[in-house]
Amino acid sequence: MREKYGKEVEFVVVYIAEAHAIDSAWPMLNGPLLEEPETLEERIANAGKCAVGLELKDFLTVVDGIDDKVMRSYQSWPDRLYLVGIDGKIAYKGGKGPFDFKPEQLDAAIAKELAAIEAAKQADPETADRLIQLFS
């Protein structure tokens, strides 16, 4: 999808609590070996290790605070796919991953959002351009 939409959509990884920390109930020993962080600095370091280890280093990665506010707000543990529309609202909320990922649904939601943006440009180019600038 990134290859398909990468010039029109910004893909962002939001690193939250570590799902497979070696000191957790579900350790994963075949990926980056990480402990659950106790500080924001440790979480940032873990995010960097995961970005490299999971080959996500070309994606913009942001890190949830150690208070897990983003994770709780988006109900995103262990992981979840979202699409934020041009208006700043959630345009797609996928099921909890990895077992309930439905990439074809995200693809359809992206296509729908891009079509709506194009229709807005055709109907009222000036307003559409202001919206795009406002939310870019």
Q: How far is CA 41 from CA 1, 37, 44, 69, 127, in A?
A: 31, 8, 5, 16, 41
| Type and span of the H or E element at 83 | strand 79-84
- pLDDT tens-digit readout, 111-122: 999 998 888 888
Q: Could you say which DSSP state residue 66 is in?
A: T
Token pair belonging to 71 = 């994770």
How high is the pLDDT of residue 60?
Answer: 92
Maximum pairwise Cα distance, the chain: 55
What is the band of 47 on the pLDDT scale with cuts at 50, 70, 90? very high
What is the band of 124 on the pLDDT scale with cuts at 50, 70, 90? confident
Tell me the C-alpha distance between 48 and 60, whole Å. Answer: 11
Residue 92 has pLDDT above 90, yes or no: yes
Q: How far is CA 79 from CA 13, 64, 115, 126, 134, in A?
A: 10, 13, 27, 37, 28
Q: Please, which residues have CB within 8 angstroms of residue 8's CB and are 6 or more apart in sequence?
A: 114
Dihedral sign, Cα of residue 111, residue 85, residue 3, residue 98? negative
Domain ranges in the chain?
2-134
Give me the CATH code for the 2-134 domain, please: 3.40.30.10
Tell me the C-alpha distance between 117 and 60, whole Å. Answer: 23
Higher pLDDT, residue 105 or 19: 105
Token pair belonging to 111 = 């296509």
* 47-51, 59-63, 127-131: range with lowest mean pLDDT: 127-131
